[in-house]
Each structure stands twice: as C-alpha cells, then as structure tokens.
Amino acid sequence: MEKQALKTEAGTLILRPARGWMALNLLDLWKYRELLYFLTWRDIKVRYKQAALGVAWAILQPIMTMIIFSVILGYLLGVPTDNDIPYPVFSFVALLPWQLFASALQRTGVSLVGNANLLTKVYFPRLVIPVSAVGAGLVDFLISFVVLIGLMLFYKIELTWNVLWLPLLVLLALLTAVAVGLWLAALNVQYRDVQQMIPFIIQAWFYASPVVYSSTIIPSENWQLVYALNPMAGVIQGFRWALLGTQAPDASLAVSSIVVLLLLVSGLYFFKRMERTFADIV
C-alpha cells in the first residue's frame, strides 16, 4: 500500500495511507520507465518468437479480414459506405484502430496473471504491467498503416491535414484499452473466469462498433450521442474522417472521450484498491 510520511514536532515519523490523486502514484510509471520499456520490448519479441512468418502476421491478418469483409459485406450484401468510398479501404481504415484496441485489451486483461512470477518476487508499481501490455500492439499498427497508405494510393485517395489528428485518436484507442483492461486485469486475479470472458467481450464490442458499417446508419442525432457512449465508435469515425474525409465526429468524439476518462479514473482507483492483494492471490 502506498503511504504518506508525516513528521510531527516531536520528530516521530507517522505513516498514513495516501489519499486522493496521490494514492495513484502515476509518477511511479516514470520512475520505473526502464522496467516499462523492458516489459514492452519483451512482449514484442515474444509475439513473433518462433513464428515462421514473423511480422508478416501484422500485414496478413488485417488484409485477410478486409478481403473477407469486402467480398461478403461489400460485394454480396452491398453494405453502403460514406461518400461511396471503396469498401476495402473503408473497412481497412476501421480495422487498424480496432485491432490495435482489441489486441491491447486482450493482453492487458490477462497481464497480471501472465506475470504472476514477477508479482510475487519483487516490488514495483503493479500498474507497469498492464500499461506495458498496451505498447506491443503499436508495432503491428505501424506496419499495417504502411499497407493502408499503399491501399489509398491504389484507390487514388489523397491525404489531408486532418491526418494530424491521428496520434490523438490512437492515444484515445489505447486509453480505452487501458481503462477497460485495468478493470479486467484486477478482476481476473480473483476470478479466472474473466479471461474466458475477454474474447466474448471483444467480439460483442466489435459488432457494436462501426468497423464493417458506417456510423451514419444510426437514425437520429440523439441516438448518435447514445451510440458514442461506445468509445471505439468515436475513434473509428475519427479515423475515417482523418484519412478518408468522411463526416466529422463532432460531438460524438467528445462523448467518447468523456466516457474513456471516467472509465480510466475509476479503473485506476479500482486497480490501486485491489493491488495490495495481487501477490497473495495470483
């Protein structure tokens, strides 16, 4: 448990539990940045170790998914796109942030149990583990983004200055994964059923997000705001606007950002509250 040290006039040192924002000790992430880097780099190497195709999986997975969606949804079912954008690039742009989020959430949710030996042997801020699990997916994202640029060149879609918003949108997707992942990781230590639920949660979230369809199918502005309670809806709409020039996310992105902030703050407090029991239970 994190503590505050108070010194009385008599020289007695009193240790009290830290409260408020101080209890989160977010500065410890910077103090242990070398460990954070090491764990992130380890996850990247493990991801491709002994894989015959190596980093090619970062290209094949979104491309094969895009082809399946394009044939079934774009060609056979004729799912409409914004501004008549070709369905392959329309879906691929959405797949990039979605796969970044989904893979980060999957790793974050099981990160504590997966590092049980580390938790029981040495002290360090436990928050380092779920945060490090998020960074590994950025490599796949960057590789897939190069493929997207080639796809946009093929369909003669030009980039605009809106692309400068992408880093913030990527950050929002990662924060969403961290926010939800903190809850899942802490709960998974006590209830191992959680790790069995994570794939289902991700699958259900996929269908609730506008990956294979346009968010403009939501009938009214009021329902659009309700739909924006799904943070990934705002992220994906923002990606399509920044790269393809579709409808701007307007108020929906603000709603998504507020939801992420609430999830993140509550997740941090819940994680810190449960932290003292991790080593004993895991």
At 16 the pLDDT is 46
Under the phi-then-psi rule, with left for phi > 0, alpha for psi from -120 to 50, and beta for the rest, what region is 251? alpha
15 and 79 co-located in one domain: no
Domain that holds residue 103: 32-281
Query: What pLDDT digit, counting tens, does each position of 28-77 carry?
Result: 777 878 888 888 888 777 776 655 556 677 778 888 888 998 999 888 88
Pairwise CA distance, residues 215 & 200, whole Å: 22
Among candidate residues 32, 94, 21, the one with its CA nearest the CA of residue 62: 94
18 and 61 co-located in one domain: no
**How many structural domains does the chain have?**
2
Pairwise CA distance, residues 93 & 82, whole Å: 12
Pairwise CA distance, residues 102 & 67, whole Å: 19
44 and 127 co-located in one domain: yes
Pairwise CA distance, residues 225 & 240, whole Å: 18
212 and 263 co-located in one domain: yes
10 and 108 co-located in one domain: no
37 and 90 co-located in one domain: yes
Contacts of 69 (CB under 8 A, 6+ apart): 87, 91, 212
Decide: 253 and 228 in contact? Cβ < 8 Å: yes
Where are the alpha helices (H) located in the chain, listed in sequence order? 28-31, 33-48, 57-69, 87-109, 111-114, 116-121, 128-135, 137-154, 166-190, 193-207, 221-227, 231-244, 250-281
21 and 65 co-located in one domain: no
144 and 19 co-located in one domain: no
Query: What pLDDT digit, counting tens, does each position of 199-246 carry?
Result: 999 999 999 999 999 888 877 777 777 888 899 999 999 999 999 988
73 and 15 co-located in one domain: no
21 band by pLDDT with thresholds 50, 70 and 90: very low
